[in-house]
Structure 1
């Protein structure tokens, strides 16, 4: 049995989105956005007190990128990963982990806007927005590469790379709109039409990290 410990609108959303695509049975334990991740019980699952945390057949994992790689290798028949030697293997690894580059800037902006609020630094916000814009530019350039059927980040089609980067962009859009990035915008609309994404969104009664759709 697979159990995912998840906080809505956090990095664990990418694992939930992937699990929805894999179609394997799993249990979801939704954690509130509060201090409960620091309890002694939860620290046995994730020693830094962060989500995601995953339990699978008696083993425990943390770190979203590692979990994504493991699940794609564990269930290769769904085509979400790319095996060593596959045409897209190098690009798959790059873009799965590029999600963390996007997320670190989103994390800094979340700290400034959500945690610190009016005490946040305008200089830091400006610098992180510029770095986030560079990330958008990188995604736009990738999707603009003149390759047949470049509807997704990989030439071979939709994969966990789209899930990981797509989830990071979902969070980033709270601070930087995708206007002016036509290929990125079209790609994001394409991947977020999938039921697996819709089922990974916060429910009506879920706690939320972001109380606003957009932070100026």
Structure 2
């Protein structure tokens, strides 16, 4: 089996990279990473659009299968190759499993908006303080929603699952915009997943992040 992942360092495709490490090369075959430069013409000019309708990462090519969207990829890989990480139809945790997978994208879309405003805009364009303030407030509320629902372990009572993998990108990116000091359960959950050997291997593949120029991005003054 071949496993070809279109990837941007510590982007949404980190979810797929981490899941690959969880499942393993023995099951999925050797990993080929096609690294793209976000914000450049390279993504549009590459063959990424053949796999991803939106010309976005992640996109996966695997023995003739072409699949985009991180939630779809994570769910497919869990269902097909990692039943212990899945919650199939009829499982008591199935509704919560699906809700967390899609909640992860709700958070990620807010992070993406902040990335565009705070990281990608270049002079003479200027970020909108009002839009940023509202988006940070929405992201903080989404973190508070996690805080209210987390216990001492993973997202689901039955243990680690693909839903936790979906949070990989979020847990990396959110602290650049939301101070987690007042969210002890989220901090503990972040530490728990980062202890996983597969997560550490995925981070080792990524290396030091090259995206954010500072440790925290405060809301700019109007």
TM-score calculated relative to the size of structure 1 = 0.90
| CA shift digits 1:54-84 (9 cap, x unpaired) | 001112111111111110011134x111111
Secondary structure of 2:34's partner? strand
Aligned partners of 1:104 and 1:153: how far apart in 2? 20
Secondary structure of 1:28's partner? strand
Secondary structure of 1:27's partner? strand
Instruction: Give 1:187-198 correspondences, 5 Å limit.
Output: 187-198=189-200
- Kindly state the Cα deviation for residue 96 of structure 1 after the two structures are TM-superposed: 1.0
Q: Which residue of 1 aligns with 2:23?
A: 22
For these two proteins, the number of residue pairs brought into alignment is: 208
Aligned partners of 2:131 and 2:142: how far apart in 1? 17
From 199, 205, 212, give the equivalent of 2:214.
212
Q: Which residue of 2 aligns with 1:147?
A: none
Q: Which residue of 1 aligns with 2:117?
A: 112
Q: Which residue of 1 aligns with 2:9?
A: 8
For the pair 1:183 / 2:185, whether they are aligned, the reply is yes
For the pair 1:130 / 2:131, whether they are aligned, the reply is no
Query: Does the CA contact (< 8 Å) of 1:102 and 1:169 recur in 2?
Result: no
- Kindly state the Cα deviation for residue 32 of structure 1 after the two structures are TM-superposed: 2.4
Q: Which moved more, 1:130-139 or 1:39-48?
A: 39-48
Alignment gaps of 5+ in structure 1: 145-149
Aligned partners of 1:30 and 1:41: how far apart in 2? 12
From 67, 70, 75, give the equivalent of 1:64.
70
Alignment gaps of 5+ in structure 2: none
Which 4+ residue blocks in structure 1 deviate beyond 6 angstroms? none
Q: Which residue of 2 aligns with 1:203?
A: 207
Secondary structure of 1:200's partner? helix
After superposition, the CA RMSD in angstroms is 1.7
Instruction: Give 1:85-124 correspondences, 5 Å limit.
Output: 85-116=90-121, 119-124=126-131
